[in-house]
Amino acid sequence: MSNQSPDLAKTLRKKRNDILELWMKNQLADVSLREDLLTNEELRAQSEELLDVLLQNLNERNIAEVESADFEPVVEVLSGISISRAKQGFTPRETGLYIFSLKDALLTVVQQELKDDPAQLVTAVLTISKLVDSFGVTTFETFIKGREEVILRQTDEITEISTPVIQLWDNILALPIIGTLDSSRTQVVMENLLQQIVDTGSSIAILDISGVPAVDSLVAQHLIKTVSATRLMGAECIISGIRPEIAQTVVHLGIDLSNIVTKASLASALRYAFGMLQLDVKKTIREK
Amino acid sequence: MDKIPILRMGHFLLVTIQTDLYDRLAMSLEADLVQMVSKTNAKGVLIDISAQSIVDSFMGRIIGNIASMCKILDAETVVVGMQPAVAITLIELGLELKGVHTALNVEKGMELLQTKIILPTEDTSDDDDYSA
Amino acid sequence: MIIPLNKEAVEVKKEQDTIFLRNRIKECATKTGMGLVNQTKLITAASELARNMLRYAGGGNVLVETVSKGRENGVRLTFKDTGPGIPDIAMAMKDGYSTGKSLGLGLPGTKRLVSEFDIKSTPGTGTVITIIKWKNG
Ligand SMILES: Nc1ncnc2c1ncn2[C@@H]1O[C@H](COP(=O)(O)OP(=O)(O)OP(=O)(O)O)[C@@H](O)[C@H]1O
Ligand SMILES: [Mg+2]
């Protein structure tokens, strides 16, 4: 390969304008051109930027090494283009084809330049194909990464939505937990609860776990920590909604909940909270 | 050297820790506070740590010490305003500050002290009335 | 693979230095986008290790780095001293073990507060403790 590579990068750089014109011509002639999403001027500017950063960073060594760190600036521009195209509404297929149409332009130019040397032409074609294919893959990776970020963000949002803190009464907060409690969710629940305690100045928090399918020792540990942290801040935390199965597991696992106020239902926890605040709920007797 | 001001409010003392604490500063607070409790015959001590972004094992221990020492001098200690992140961290660290009362803010801390303490009656004389 | 993104050395020779150290760590952690609770855990852990260094080894150096591993960013702290070293690490890592008439919470507590904890100590040569807190760890 070393017998031809030295020229290839230089040749391409020399032919920059031809390549750009060819590439633009290919793109504008394509039936799938999305003028609705990107004007022709914008498309040209985008293509020019990509081609220039590629040609600037290309040399005789790295042209055959698609993994070379030299291509970082290219990958950066490419990722930027992929992301902005994805946002504009291009399909990954359209963006992929956009990159591959650059290959056609590059190959046409190389073909003209090396038409007298079939052996070198074959090598050059292979090298260029490999390089552009790898860029194509990059655009897909970027696209997927973008999607993954959306999913991660949504996961975070769901976790937040699924742990609402409710002000039940002056000084009393309730946090009904529904669904499985894992470490990271408990973390969110705990932080949420403690922050709300500060924000509302509530001195009693009720953690209702009737919607939690199972309590293992890790979850119990987290619950105990939540209660301890609440106390450090100067509030009291009651755990309610303990089903008989959960009481059984807790004891079987040897978890000591004796320092924690536990109640079977949210209603009895509320009654207990009223007691702590010295509040009395009474039926009013009306005159008949 | 920096010093943490101690405010006297009737039968209570209020300490608001605004600066970042390093060990020697915390230790001098312990000494000053205990002196002050004894001198003023205070019945309650409020330590406001709402401005503290961290409390490590050393500071936690000093707070515990202050509470135990005040107890011996017949005063109750309430730590108020601990930030959620600080509370979570202390629990993970393994420090529960057993024996220290806590409250959400100064106001609630006052209320708590008032329920815990039987204040000396409107007696003009300062000394305790054992004989009665 | 853990890649350091930037680093800074902080000397801890006296108590007040630990306040400077905390602030430097806070700045680094904020840059990674770390949440308040994890920041607090990290800074508390650092405070414990810095105190140990001062108390048992007469001070030392801390390397503060922002690091990345795949998608995760975090802060790595390396505490290095040339003190007496710790003869029995397993013992020192136990809750309640202290040669300083203290609670013995520092080392085991620190380990619980961070994502990664590594301790190397040679009696007579010194101690190196490295901790990492990942942004979401
Ligand atoms: N940098 C160090 N050099 C030498 N010995 C150390 C060092 N750090 C810790 N040690 C030893 O390990 C023991 C345990 O440390 P740890 O921080 O867990 O507890 P402590 O400092 O004694 O108490 P606490 O941190 O709760 O105040 C110490 O008592 C000390 O003997
Ligand atoms: Mg220690």
Residue C76 confidence (pLDDT) above 50? yes
Using a CB cutoff of 5 Å, list residues around ligand 2, an ion: C 52, 106
Averaged pLDDT, C25-37: 94
Distance CA A59, CA A61 (A): 5
Size of interface B-C (CB pairs under 8 A): 67
Nearest CA to ligand 1 atom 1: C53
Range(s) within chain A of domains with CATH label 1.10.490: 8-159
Q: What is the pLDDT of residues A243-265, one digit of tens each?
A: 898 889 889 988 888 889 999 99
Q: Which CATH superfamily is domain A166-276 in?
A: STAS domain (3.30.750.24)
Task: Residue C40: count other Cβ atoms within 10 Å of its Cβ.
Answer: 26
**Could you tell me which CATH class the domain C3-134 is placed in?**
alpha beta
Please indicate if any CB of chain B lies within 8 Å of the CB of C102. yes
Q: Which residues of B touch A232 (CB under 8 A)?
A: 82, 86-87, 90-91, 96-97, 102
Q: What is the pLDDT of residues B11-45, one digit of tens each?
A: 999 999 988 888 888 899 999 999 999 999 999 99
What's the whole-model pTM score?
0.74
| CA C53 to ligand 1: nearest atom | 1
Contact B97 A203 (CB under 8 A): no
Q: What's B21's DSSP letter?
A: P
Residue B129 confidence (pLDDT) above 50? no
In this prediction the ipTM stands at 0.91
Taking the C-alpha atoms of A254, A259, A260 and A264 in order, what is their torsion angle to the nearest 10 degrees? 60
Q: What is the pLDDT of residues C87-109, one digit of tens each?
A: 999 999 998 898 888 888 899 99
Question: Which residues is C127 bridged to in the sheet?
Answer: C81, C121
Averaged pLDDT, A79-93: 86
Range(s) within chain A of domains with CATH label 3.30.750.24: 166-276
Chain A interface test: which of B104, B105, B113 (most A C-beta within 10 Å): B104
Distance CA B4, CA B7 (A): 10
Q: What's B6's DSSP letter?
A: E
For chain B, domains (ranges, CATH) are 6-116 (3.30.750.24)
- Asked if the A8-159 domain carries CATH number 1.10.490, the reply is yes
Angle of helix A92-113 relative to helix A72-88, nearest 10 degrees, comes to 140
Distance CA A227, CA A225 (A): 5
Q: What percent of chain A has pLDDT over 90?
A: 39
Averaged pLDDT, A91-104: 90
Put simply, the chain B residues between 56 and 115 with a CB less than 8 A from any chain A CB are: 78-88, 90-92, 96-97, 101-105, 108-109
